Structure 1
Amino acid sequence: MESVRSSTHRSRGRSRLTVTGVLTGLLLTLSVPAAVPDSAAVTPERGSAYMGMGVLAHDGALGDATDDSLSGSRTGQTEGVDVSSHQRDVAWSTLYGSGVRWSYTKATEGTSYKNAYFTQQYNGPYKLGMVRGAYHFATPDSTGGAAQADYFLAHGGGWSRDGRTLPGVLDIEWNPYGPACYGKSKSQMVGWIRDFLNRYKARTGRAAVIYTATSWWSQCTGNYRGFAANPLWIARYASTPGTLPAGWSSYTMWQYTSTGKTVGDHDRFNGNLDQLRDFASG
């Protein structure tokens, strides 16, 4: 009889443990989100890319680019911002009051996307006396470099010698829609970039600015050094701009922090306001 009771007690104990374990497992399942496989990641919609989108995803924030850490590099430099449709109508007077003196607005992407907020974002700073410019987000997997330069110029990417309009920018960085280098070999990528730059200069008389990150440039162009005649806008979210791509001994602009979709990314022109206006004048 005692043996039966002991056996029954052990059986009930095991049942309680089993039920407890099942309940615990269910609670953990409910409280901890399941990991989403990389393959299930949602590809953004074409046209939604913005300057630094790929840089932040691949290089990340390499250090806290705080006001204190940048105080030394700020001397002799001029604060700017870059914006896209994600910012919608920008409060330019607020930015001007905070010390921002120049801006770049995304105009186009590929040969099919135009920024619906371009007019407000491009003309707004100009009316306040700021220096402004436009940039093109490159998608070398969609159409050729010359065709994209033409599209950019047809939709806001032009330049004028008024001292307040900056030369257009080729934003060339990681592909947010697929393979990092857009399915191109290093030599093919160099050729695509050359086609864009040559067409832009032929039609405007100005060399376009190249916006990129050193790590992308090394990965996708083989650290090609042949475009150093074009001004460099380096992207690096840290307290220093770091090592530059091959061929450039200095940078013209530096995107030092990415604040996402709220107020735009912050940048520095490597010179004072008079030098910025001289650069705009060509």
Structure 2
Amino acid sequence: MRLATFVAFLAISTTASPVEKRADAFGIDISSHQGSNIKWSTLKSHGISFAYVKATEGRNYVNPYFKNHYDGAKKAGLLHGPFHFARPSASSGSAQASYFISHGGSWSADGHTLPGALDLEGGCAGLTKSAMVSWIKSFSSQYHSSEKRYPVLYITTNWWKSCTGNSAAFGSSHPLWLASWASSMGPLPAGWRSAAIWQYSKETGSTPGDQDRVSGGSAALKKLALGH
């Protein structure tokens, strides 16, 4: 990600519409691709109030910049949360949840830590729809047993339909992080009436990195952190 471009974009996007800025909380999600030199205080000054940081993938990868990213976001006063990139074909959901928790994925009821998120994308991993639902339930059950919170589920509506058969089994308990790179969210997956987080822009060329927003501003963001 080219940080100078990112900051310039934020300066425009977060000041062009004061009403929109008040109505939503803006955030980013990052991984090792962004490197270690992220100016967190600058991002905060340009309207960023939360960040999700990739912690793990499968059961054999830890983001080498995770601590740097996570501590940086925390020190700057941003709400922060970890996410796990799922590899459903590699090992069980419960095993990956345990790996995630052991390598930065835990949650704290401190009002600043967002619940861990499960990043589901990249095809159906050769699983049937029912097997994918079972895998997600396995991950979720293990995470909830340890952290007393259900993980946020990061998905696109198309992925959810293709890989779970549009299951409605998670909407009442799991916050939705919807990826929809358009001017509006579009249709939601079955079971959810709203999205807790909307990833509305993804890094492409000179476009800034992944950008997210929470409708309802800081109050809704705090509610997500506290789980009520």
TM-score scaled to structure 2, two decimals?
A: 0.88
Q: Count residues in correspondence.
A: 211
| 1:217-268, Cα deviation, whole Å (9 max, x unpaired) | 0011000011011000000100101100001010000000012588531000
Aligned to 1:271: 216
Deviates more, 1:84-93 or 1:131-140: 84-93
Return 5+ residue gaps in structure 1 as ranges.
1-65, 175-179
Distance 1:83 1:91 in 2: 13
Aligned to 2:60: 112
Kindly state the Cα deviation for residue 273 of structure 1 after the two structures are TM-superposed.
1.0
Residue 240, structure 1, aligned to residue 184, structure 2:
yes
Kindly state the Cα deviation for residue 269 of structure 1 after the two structures are TM-superposed.
1.3
Aligned to 1:40: none
CA RMSD of aligned residues (A): 1.9
SS of equivalent residue, structure 1 residue 165: coil
For 1:128, the aligned partner's letter is A
| 1:159-207, Cα deviation, whole Å (9 max, x unpaired) | 0010000000000012xxxxx2100000000000000011100110011
Alignment of 1:124-203 (within 5 A): 124-174=72-122, 180-203=123-146
SS of equivalent residue, structure 1 residue 101: strand
Larger radius of gyration: 1
Distance 2:198 2:191 in 1: 17
TM-score scaled to structure 1, two decimals?
A: 0.71
Does the CA contact (< 8 Å) of 1:86 and 1:261 recur in 2? no
* Aligned residue among 84, 87, 104 for 2:31: 84
SS of equivalent residue, structure 1 residue 156: helix
SS of equivalent residue, structure 1 residue 238: coil
Distance 2:150 2:23 in 1: 24
| 1:130-187, Cα deviation, whole Å (9 max, x unpaired) | 100000000101000000000000000000010000000000012xxxxx21000000
Return 5+ residue gaps in structure 2 as ranges.
1-11
For 1:280, the aligned partner's letter is A
Question: What percent of counterpart residues are identical?
Answer: 45
